Amino acid sequence: DAGVIQSPRHEVTEMGQEVTLRCKPISGHNSLFWYRQTMMRGLELLIYFNNNVPIDDSGMPEDRFSAKMPNASFSTLKIQPSEPRDSAVYFCATSRAGQGGDGYTFGSGTRLTVV
Amino acid sequence: SQKIEQNSEALNIQEGKTATLTCNYTNYSPAYLQWYRQDPGRGPVFLLLIRENEKEKRKERLKVTFDTTLKQSLFHITASQPADSATYLCAPSDTGRRALTFGSGTRLQVQP
């Protein structure tokens, strides 16, 4: 199993540009989570999906952020337009849905720098 | 509001000693609590899960306790090794809430 695959690993973009982060979950994991990590705020939940359906997007900072999961094998997190304060490491994590208690498997993250 | 507190100061210990990390939480009623390890430049890795009806859980050199009265979990690494150096994150999970919220983590440094 290749684990949770995120791309790109690093992204440097100019303020105002659109950024798209991608995640391929582990096969059979039907819960998918997007987190953002910074030194100041730690690991913050942005949005999560269950069976491709967004369940809770209350962590999405503002309308500039959007996330989709068109099928069980792929999810995207888009920022448009990007701002310097969006600079962070963005993680995708997946788990098997159920009664809870399954650990999350995280991807290696995308380090985003907006200049 | 809900709060998860982990010691923000790094914990430095000598190789072979037992490391103990603390996770305190407020305004949670966790059905279970999870611990993760994070190395620099990498995503967190799941280590252990303990349920509310379990007082203690062990896995190799790791031991986790869970006191729902004190609202606290302790994470122990016995016979610590320099390879155990990392940041350790706790995540209590409220009953009925599917997504985890993580503490800010405690950095452990094991000196050879």
- Tell me, letter by letter, the H, E, C secondary structure of B71-103: CEEEEEECCCCHHHCEEEEEEEEECCCCCCCCC
Contact B98 A31 (CB under 8 A): yes
**pLDDT over threshold 80, residue A41:** yes
**pLDDT over threshold 90, residue B88:** yes
**pLDDT over threshold 70, residue A29:** yes
Q: Which pLDDT band holds residue B84 (cuts at 50, 70, 90)?
A: very high
Disruptive mutation site among A10, A104, A111 for chain B (greatest number of B CBs within 10 Å): A104
**CA distances (Å), A110 to each of A41, A104, B40, in order?**
17, 17, 13
Contact B104 A101 (CB under 8 A): no
Q: pLDDT per residue over B21-79, tens digit each?
A: 999 999 888 888 999 999 999 999 999 999 989 989 999 999 999 999 999 999 999 99
A15 touches B: beta carbon within 8 Å:
no
Contact A42 B51 (CB under 8 A): no
Phi, psi (deg, nearest 5) at residue A82:
-80, 150
CA-nearest residue to A49 within chain B is: B99
Contact A107 B42 (CB under 8 A): no
Phi, psi (deg, nearest 5) at residue B82:
-55, -30
**pLDDT over threshold 80, residue A96:** yes
**Token pair belonging to A57:** 């997007």
